[in-house]
Structure 1
Amino acid sequence: MATQFQNRLVGTLILVSLGVIFLPDVFDGEKAHYEESYQAIPLREEVDESLLTEPVMAPEEVESFMPPEEPVVVTIDAPAAPNVASAPKENYTDSAWIIRLGTFRNIENAHNLVATLRSKGYAAQLMPRDIKEGELARVEVGPDVSKEKLESMTADLESLTGLKGQLLRFNPLNP
């Protein structure tokens, strides 16, 4: 037979387990159920049919800032190396120019100089554009197709910044 202690222990365990199971439901009260509001994504957008019947306009003619391609003439002598000569440039002015004011390791100083120049009306930028900390940053003014205009700006820039800038050709493919 079971002892009195064992009977009390089993009874206590049963009461405690019933309390653990049912008392939270009694004290929580009425449960509130929340439904998430959502909208279904349409499978396909509605298309304006009138756009499909309109004619397509031809693109506008725009002058390119890139120089026209020049034909290359290659002559080869038997004992000599190949001789490459380009055709003469007709009605072609020199490409654009820039003024390189300096190269900076401290990016903050370069940004401050660009901000100062822009506030004075100069077209200044930082090159390369995606500069990271520790890399060298170049501060440049331009580009402009008028070399004389940029040459006249160098004295003003030197008095403003204290930096003697270099007048260089602008290369849009490798700035």
Structure 2
Amino acid sequence: MDARLKQRLVGACILTAVAVIVLPMLMDGSAEDRARVMVSIPEAPNIDVKKVSVQDLRLQMERMERASATQLPREVVDENSYAADADFTLDKNSLPVSWSLQLGSFRDRENAIKLRARLRDAEHRSYILYAKTSEGETYRVFVGPMVKKSALQELQGKIEASLKLKGQVVRYRIEDDAGQLGG
């Protein structure tokens, strides 16, 4: 490399270093200006402190408790006895044996739905089971299920008297619910 070029490069590096050191000092101002920091602290607020005694606090808490106690909902106590009813038996799946009242068996779905609607209008819990048999599709209409067979037989007499429908008490099986027609 040429000696002149070396001298020029060294000179340029020195000038750049001096500029980097000196220029920030010239631009920022004096050290005293940088040391001064402006802080504005507001005056302390004028607070009136009330003296409260422990007795006053207790009285106030008691008043609040009484007021909130009158607004709370009262506890509802169910006085019915739900003791275990020993009038039912369990099947092999440990489910209670239940009974239903079969009131009709139809090939036409609409007829089954009409009978179910008639039973529901008379406020009887009713349902339809759909099944495919060798003779075709059938829709069976039931009332129930009930755990007590005697209660269902009593209901059978009422339905026979009021709706002129003869029924047959049959065993209710939860497995049959898969074929239950919605609604």
TM-score bracket relative to the smaller structure: 0.3 to 0.5
Q: Which structure shows the bigger proportion of residues in helix conformation? A: 2
Q: Which of the pair has more CA radius of gyration?
A: 2
Q: Give the structure-1-normalised TM-score.
A: 0.43
